[in-house]
Structure 1
Amino acid sequence: MPRGILLTSDLPQLQNLIKRDPVGYKEEFLQQWNHYNSIRQIFQTNPDEQAKHFRELISFIAQVAPCYPKETKDFPAQLSNLLLDGNAVLSPDLRKNLVQNLVMLRNKNAITSIELLRTLFPLLPRTTSSTLRASIRSTILSDIRNANTPHKNHKLNRAVQAMLFGMVEKGMEAEVVGDKGKAKAIKPSHDGLASNGEEAMWAVVLTTELWKKGIWNDSNSVSIIALGCFHPVVKVQSASIHFFLGSEDDNEEDSDDDDIPDVKALQHRREVKKKTRSGDKKIEKTKKAIKKKKHRKAETITANFPALQILNDPQSFAEKLYESLNKHDKRFSLPHKILLMQLMSRVTGAHKLSVLPFYTYILKYLTYHQLQITSILVALAQSVHDLTPPDCLSPVIRKLAAEFVHPGVGSEVISAGLNAIREVCRRQPWAMEEDLLGDLVEYRKSRDKGVTAAARGLLQLYREVNPGMLKRRERGKEASKAIGAGTQPLPFGHSLKPAEDIEDLVLLEDHLRALRREEGVASGAGGEDEDDWKGWDVESDSSEDSSDGESWIDVDSDGEEAFEVSDSEDEKEKEKKREREEKMDVDEDDREKEEGSSAARVSSLATTKILTPADFALLNDLRRQAASSAVESGTGGKAAKRKLAALEKSKSTAASQGNLDSAFISELDIIGPRKKSKADYAERIASIEKGREGREKYGSMKGKKKKETPSSSTNREKARNKPIMMIMGSGKVRGKKKASLRDKQVKLRRHIEKGKKAHH
């Protein structure tokens, strides 16, 4: 048989030979290439004809394409067109084969990442196979991750972000027709194709995944998801909002973790049932899956800053959120409206924005019987800041007091209302009215623990921020002293103090000065200056050095007098500098002693040194140490304790959230402390069973352990030891009292005869 016929009938053998000698087998390859083009034309008219042979030819050409780049330059584009244009008529096997070959061409550097991703992105919403969809998703994520390792590939990132932005923007002009946000039909978009938001959903999911893995952390990726918050499909909106809120979305299709079974349950079942090899393999596979899941979580990198901080134009973003909330109030379901409220409140509080119509809109939801009222109260409190006008908040405070704080509701409702009012007034104290405050703080005399704690929290807040609104007997010792000294609360819009210094920066300055002194003592006088000037000494211009070719070269000064610097003059300058610094340190120490604690010292460290993140971390540690010392010595009072608690709380928060966590609250802050509810039947039984653990079976141990010969007591012993009052009403005792003389004689005779038999 001729070689050509033999090779054309065995494609794997030809593939192996071509990889070894591409030049020698070029004719055989061209023969197969022409055969591929012929079948491809037939396939476009009749996809079912020779489908298996067509897959084999595609795999063969994809394997050897790098050997003939000129001849196969159009091959990747042909595969891409087959996938995108004929996706509906392709069989699942052929579709999978095309995707695998495109990925292989990318791995062989036959195509670029952008060319591959331009094909894979449109396939995600079109494919119906969950396996292929998961494969495409993992391929996209891994390709972008590899392209950004170890350095960022800005060109690829911009191109991919533009594609994702277009996927979200594609359906923005469509309208959703449905009830409560459920899309029944969508009008065609500008390109004439109907879409249910799948493309936008995948764009949001992929961007979120890349953000969580730390691959993308710029404003462009945030802008993609910010656009998704206004998409007409509610599912896309929900996923985008959950990204900004930092919570997991129920609609996200990443449910692989739920499919992993429990290892302990499998091992227990393994011990009970029949042992087989398949069972062992299943347990090992489960262990590997759990290990891989933990490794994947460990690799997840937290972003350096929250997405809320790098929003583009947050004021317009918050206003659009309110417009969407107000416009679709009838169409959106309550949980989705609460999501919009929470996101808008976080953006408003983080950037100190003003969306004043929101406080009028939220009034209709402030009733104690409203569903999910605690989430609504959290959104209300988070939207308030020190620049929110008090006039807009006063109706909100009055509505909260009228609906939640009165004797006609339960104690839990009252405590929630008081806590909500306290959180709003903590951010804007001028929203409270004096008469209303006096009525609210009277609830501190309540018998309920939660109500008392909430009212005392409100009282303590106004003792700190504006004690003049309280009655004289309610102000407390410290607040009364402050009012007596003439201290007045700051009006609305005024800051506590001008931005002239960083808080407690003097601690860092003193710490660095102490370290400098210790280093100077350890290295001797002038040690720091010697280190600073090391390598900067000017060489002497002697005759010995001038003859050397590596010495300084004299430059003609055109008649001017030459400038010379000697070592002796250099030493004098260093000595003078050292004396000046020592004098400045002594003068500064004397000035600090004279000032004492009467006036606050302004640090000049920020104007002389660029503060690094390590410096701020050290400053936070110094703040905690100073607060702890003040608490231990008792000089700071309750204020020092509160400051120490706040610093410890800020230490435990994640670094990725920055300073935004202090502005966010949870539902537990609104509910407040509650007394323990009465246990139900299941809880009581569980408590009883827990008390029986570690002891023997319950019952009397008198006859089993307290006798020399362990045995149980008889019924006669039990009857003899019974209390008299327990047997007074028994039939046996009453029968003795009612017995006749004849019965007593018969009983006595039996007793005598029985005694005689016992003696014999």
Structure 2
Amino acid sequence: MGRTHANRGALLASNLPQLQNLIKRDPQAYRDEFLQQWSHFQSIQRIWKMQPDAVEDGQHFRELVSFVAQVAQCYPEDTKEFPNELATLLRDHYPMLTPDLRRSLVQNLVTLRNKDVITSIDLLRNLFPLLPRTTSSTLRSFIRTTILTDIKTANARTKNHKLNRAVQAMLFGMVERGMDAEVQGDKGKLRNPAPNANGTSSGSKGVEALWAVLLTKELWRKGVWNDAKSVSIVSLGCFHPVAKVQSASLHFFLGEEDEDDDSESEDEGPNIKALMHQRGVKKKTRSGEKKIAKAEKVAKKKRKENATANTPNFPALQLLNDPQTFGEKLYDGILRYDKRYSLEHKLLIMQLLSRVMGTHKLCVLGFYTYIMKYLTHHQLRVPSILVALAQSVHDLTPPDALTPVVRKIAQEFVHPGVGAEVIAAGINAIREVCKRQPWCLSEEDGGVELLGDLIEYRKSRDKGVVVAARSLLQLYREVNPGLLKRRERGKTASMGLTSGSQPLPYGHQRDAAMDIDGLNLLEDHLNQAKEGGSDVDMSEEDEKAWANWDVETDESSEEESEDGWMNVESDGEDKFDVSDSDDEKVPPKPVEDAATPKDEPKRVSTLATTKILTPADFALLQELRLKEAQRVVEAGGGSHSKRKLAMLEAQKKVTAAITEDPSAGIITESVILGARKKAKADYEERMASIAKGREGREKFGSAKGKKKKGVVSSTTNREKQRSKPVMMARQSGAVRAKKMASLRDKQKRIRAHIDRAKKAYH
């Protein structure tokens, strides 16, 4: 019996897959065999740590590690230190490991995670340090895919806040560790990468920070993370000393793809032109046609993705913590490293700074002084610089800071010594700046003369210049016609000035906001719905109205109650005197309006003080205001009612456009360049136009024999000759030969004709 057991142990020791299968079926029956292999693994590991070259059979060691990882869940007490030992080998002895052993150790760590031997946090904590250290693209791709898949799976059904906070803390630390490093050269590489206690160098801090930013961007793009903590990781990367990390972070907020990313991004798509060429050369088969059709479908999808690739990341811009400090730090960085950064990198910073200033209405006044040195018509990438300038302006920007900028653009771009395209770009840039802050041109600073000179270009011969000048004229007819000459104001603007309606100066408002326009319409609508006998609870309706609008809350918050409210302890009971009774409510005083008779005070709704308005309520309010304006116009309202209706309709279109496409209100280079001559189409555009013209048209060819006959067939050559025009038949070779034939030939032809006739008659 002992010999049988010994033989079985020797057999199973040489066949680990069979032993692995038996252990999974009955762990306790084969515990001794496992302990034998476990002690063998421990001895080889100790030998390898002391002398890595002493272990000759690396394949056996990898098989032994894989075997222990596969059956570790069967003996949790014996293998509780196994994950730590694998992590120690990867962390402390990574340079001495062979590529195959590295890959095997990483794969076995993933196996332990799949079998729930270790948690996701333990796995990710061991994988993150490997990304900047590995030089194998295959292993790096495997680690990256494993990290993204694990986090995505953990957040598939509900948000795993515990895991997300832990991973975000690790990524934030990866970015923060290299913030104080010194760089050298124009590319921002770390200086003196001295190794530390773990054998890693400070040069890897820039690489690990880059990977932290790339992983955050990928998780954001996939929709796994969409909170402010993710944005804070990338926002910190915008100030990293390594230019590559900073560039990747800037591209995240601008919604663009970074060309220097080390991530395994997808290719540009199939080359349709090359496939069509191969199709024409090689033998035509059905499989080839299917391949081309599939490639065209992929290329169409790629073109659609590239069309929306340059859309700014508006949700991330909105989630920035302290945007004013963020913008000031961006400006300080570009000012400090102006000579070190390249023009492309400085342009990225200017674009992001302008987006932040325009989105949050910030005032970084030094930015306008800095950008003035780039406002020359011969400057590289000047359309993008003008876009950044215009995008940074808003209604709270001081006009005094913009007046020198507008004058510099006019002096450099709008004069007879430059081309028509340069003049159009300058006028368009001035128009976009004045559109956001009309008071940058004023009478005190000579803005009337400058505006008049710019408007005179509407008499130019170039179409782009004419369109730009006319758009600037139309803008000031609407916002401030007082700066225009009397003959240039137009009828509507002149009547407005005669009636006394003047634009308010910078920083002024007409009246204090006492009520929401049209809120009484919403109150009447809700009262009618309540009186109509609806049994639906208003609280349930409010919950439905807030659907898809609630801000995501943290499940681990201990201070919040089950209904979502936070319990706040008051210092004293007599400190606040709050009553909800209807008798103690003080009705608001009616506010008179210029359009309302004095004896009939304007009604002020109390709905905003008694109900929390939901986004659905504001959408309904917009519809009710539009219907009321239409009713007033149909009832014979004057021009004021018609203008109000047009304004509401335009506002609805703008709101719908922004909802569908958040980038609808941004400025692009095409807006600055203006209307231009149509560029010559390339080969692909011409072929697309030809294919579009052939849609719905039958294939070219004659339809005589196919449609005019009972049996589908083509006509013979003799039938075609009969229908040939006489004037064309006279010029044929046969007719000419008859005319030029000799007497002998004519006699032969006549004799042959007589013989054929006799035969036919008999």
Fold similarity call, TM over 0.5: yes
C-alpha distance in structure 2 between counterparts of 1:450 and 1:641, whole Å: 29
Whether the aligned pair in 2 keeps the contact of 1:164 and 1:203 (CA below 8 Å) is yes
- The verdict on how the C-alpha distance between 1:133 and 1:278 changes in structure 2, with shifts beyond 3 A counting, is farther
Query: Which residue in 2 is equivalent to 1:25?
Result: 30
Q: Which of these residues, 15, 20, 41, is aligned with residue 20 of structure 2?
A: 15
Query: Which residue in 2 is equivalent to 1:472?
Result: 486
Secondary structure at the counterpart of residue 367 of structure 1: coil
| Paired residue type of 2:85 | Q
Query: Which residue in 1 is equivalent to 2:146?
Result: 139
Aligned-pair CA distance for 1:124: 1.3
Deviations 1:593-638 (A, max 9, x none): 9769x99764432222212232233334446666778899995556
Aligned-pair CA distance for 1:328: 1.9
The alignment status of 1:230 with 2:239, answered yes or no, reads yes
Once the two structures are overlaid, the 10-residue window that deviates more, 437-446 or 508-517, is 508-517
Aligned-pair CA distance for 1:109: 1.3
The alignment status of 1:217 with 2:250, answered yes or no, reads no
Q: Which of these residues, 325, 347, 364, is aligned with residue 373 of structure 2?
A: 364
Secondary structure at the counterpart of residue 88 of structure 1: helix
Query: Which residue in 1 is equivalent to 2:11?
Result: 6
Whether the aligned pair in 1 keeps the contact of 2:237 and 2:245 (CA below 8 Å) is yes
Secondary structure at the counterpart of residue 211 of structure 2: helix
| Paired residues for 1:493-532 under 5 Å | 493-495=507-509, 497-516=511-530, 519-520=532-533
| Paired residues for 1:490-639 under 5 Å | 490-495=504-509, 497-516=511-530, 519-520=532-533, 602-622=604-624, 635=639, 636-637=641-642
- The verdict on how the C-alpha distance between 1:364 and 1:76 changes in structure 2, with shifts beyond 3 A counting, is same
- The verdict on how the C-alpha distance between 1:40 and 1:379 changes in structure 2, with shifts beyond 3 A counting, is same
Query: Which residue in 2 is equivalent to 1:68?
Result: 75
Aligned-pair CA distance for 1:695: 8.4
Aligned-pair CA distance for 1:356: 0.9
Once the two structures are overlaid, the 10-residue window that deviates more, 128-137 or 505-514, is 505-514
Aligned-pair CA distance for 1:216: 1.5
C-alpha distance in structure 2 between counterparts of 1:273 and 1:484, whole Å: 78
C-alpha distance in structure 2 between counterparts of 1:11 and 1:287, whole Å: 50
Whether the aligned pair in 2 keeps the contact of 1:260 and 1:290 (CA below 8 Å) is yes
Aligned-pair CA distance for 1:502: 3.8
C-alpha distance in structure 2 between counterparts of 1:646 and 1:118, whole Å: 51
Aligned-pair CA distance for 1:512: 3.1
- The verdict on how the C-alpha distance between 1:507 and 1:316 changes in structure 2, with shifts beyond 3 A counting, is same
Query: Which residue in 1 is equivalent to 2:336?
Result: 327
C-alpha distance in structure 2 between counterparts of 1:259 and 1:624, whole Å: 46
Aligned-pair CA distance for 1:12: 1.7
Deviations 1:234-286 (A, max 9, x none): 22111111111122222234555327647998799799867999999999999
Whether the aligned pair in 1 keeps the contact of 2:174 and 2:205 (CA below 8 Å) is no
| Paired residues for 1:332-411 under 5 Å | 332-411=341-420
Aligned-pair CA distance for 1:57: 0.9
Whether the aligned pair in 2 keeps the contact of 1:189 and 1:195 (CA below 8 Å) is no
Q: Which of these residues, 503, 516, 521, is aligned with residue 489 of structure 1?
A: 503
Aligned-pair CA distance for 1:202: 0.8
- The verdict on how the C-alpha distance between 1:712 and 1:157 changes in structure 2, with shifts beyond 3 A counting, is farther
Whether the aligned pair in 1 keeps the contact of 2:435 and 2:475 (CA below 8 Å) is yes
Aligned-pair CA distance for 1:381: 0.7
Aligned-pair CA distance for 1:677: 5.1
C-alpha distance in structure 2 between counterparts of 1:677 and 1:53, whole Å: 67
Aligned-pair CA distance for 1:680: 8.9
Whether the aligned pair in 2 keeps the contact of 1:201 and 1:236 (CA below 8 Å) is yes
Whether the aligned pair in 2 keeps the contact of 1:174 and 1:187 (CA below 8 Å) is no
C-alpha distance in structure 1 between counterparts of 2:43 and 2:205, whole Å: 38
Secondary structure at the counterpart of residue 49 of structure 1: coil
Whether the aligned pair in 2 keeps the contact of 1:346 and 1:664 (CA below 8 Å) is no
The alignment status of 1:35 with 2:35, answered yes or no, reads no
Residue identity over aligned pairs, in percent, reads 59
Whether the aligned pair in 2 keeps the contact of 1:173 and 1:190 (CA below 8 Å) is no
| Paired residue type of 1:465 | V
Higher Cα radius of gyration? 1
| Paired residue type of 2:418 | V
Query: Which residue in 1 is equivalent to 2:706?
Result: none
Query: Which residue in 2 is equivalent to 1:46?
Result: 52
C-alpha distance in structure 1 between counterparts of 2:291 and 2:687, whole Å: 37
Aligned-pair CA distance for 1:209: 1.2
The alignment status of 1:673 with 2:687, answered yes or no, reads no
Aligned-pair CA distance for 1:118: 0.7
Aligned-pair CA distance for 1:344: 0.3
Number of residue pairs matched by the alignment: 653
Whether the aligned pair in 2 keeps the contact of 1:382 and 1:663 (CA below 8 Å) is no
Aligned-pair CA distance for 1:708: 5.1
Once the two structures are overlaid, the 10-residue window that deviates more, 58-67 or 703-712, is 703-712
Query: Which residue in 2 is equivalent to 1:123?
Result: 130
- The verdict on how the C-alpha distance between 1:279 and 1:670 changes in structure 2, with shifts beyond 3 A counting, is closer
Whether the aligned pair in 2 keeps the contact of 1:106 and 1:113 (CA below 8 Å) is yes
Whether the aligned pair in 2 keeps the contact of 1:165 and 1:224 (CA below 8 Å) is yes
Q: List alignment gaps of at least 5 residues for structure 1.
A: 533-576, 578-583, 719-750
Secondary structure at the counterpart of residue 217 of structure 1: coil
Query: Which residue in 2 is equivalent to 1:445?
Result: 459
Query: Which residue in 1 is equivalent to 2:107?
Result: 100
Whether the aligned pair in 2 keeps the contact of 1:217 and 1:303 (CA below 8 Å) is no
Deviations 1:69-115 (A, max 9, x none): 11111110111111122222222222111111111111111111111
Whether the aligned pair in 2 keeps the contact of 1:631 and 1:641 (CA below 8 Å) is no
Aligned-pair CA distance for 1:648: 1.5
Aligned-pair CA distance for 1:421: 0.8
Once the two structures are overlaid, the 10-residue window that deviates more, 193-202 or 345-354, is 193-202
Secondary structure at the counterpart of residue 204 of structure 2: coil
Deviations 1:690-746 (A, max 9, x none): 989978699xxxx9999953279679859xxxxxxxxxxxxxxxxxxxxxxxxxxxx
Aligned-pair CA distance for 1:476: 2.4
- The verdict on how the C-alpha distance between 1:756 and 1:9 changes in structure 2, with shifts beyond 3 A counting, is closer
- The verdict on how the C-alpha distance between 1:655 and 1:280 changes in structure 2, with shifts beyond 3 A counting, is closer
Secondary structure at the counterpart of residue 125 of structure 1: coil
| Paired residues for 1:648-663 under 5 Å | 648-654=653-659, 657=662, 661=663
RMSD of Structure 2 on Structure 1 (CA): 4.8
| Paired residue type of 1:71 | D
Secondary structure at the counterpart of residue 180 of structure 2: coil
C-alpha distance in structure 2 between counterparts of 1:630 and 1:477, whole Å: 25
- The verdict on how the C-alpha distance between 1:675 and 1:647 changes in structure 2, with shifts beyond 3 A counting, is farther
Return the TM-score normalized by structure 2: 0.74
| Paired residue type of 1:250 | E
| Paired residue type of 1:46 | P
Aligned-pair CA distance for 1:199: 0.8
C-alpha distance in structure 2 between counterparts of 1:466 and 1:316, whole Å: 34
Secondary structure at the counterpart of residue 474 of structure 2: helix
- The verdict on how the C-alpha distance between 1:273 and 1:463 changes in structure 2, with shifts beyond 3 A counting, is closer
| Paired residue type of 2:652 | L
C-alpha distance in structure 1 between counterparts of 2:211 and 2:318, whole Å: 24
| Paired residue type of 1:357 | G
The alignment status of 1:308 with 2:320, answered yes or no, reads no
- The verdict on how the C-alpha distance between 1:321 and 1:92 changes in structure 2, with shifts beyond 3 A counting, is same
Q: List alignment gaps of at least 5 residues for structure 2.
A: 442-446, 542-581, 703-716, 733-738, 751-762
Secondary structure at the counterpart of residue 197 of structure 1: helix
Deviations 1:294-344 (A, max 9, x none): 9x99xxxx9997111121121111111111212222222212111110100
Query: Which residue in 2 is equivalent to 1:460?
Result: 474
C-alpha distance in structure 1 between counterparts of 2:453 and 2:424, whole Å: 14
C-alpha distance in structure 2 between counterparts of 1:322 and 1:378, whole Å: 17
| Paired residue type of 1:5 | A
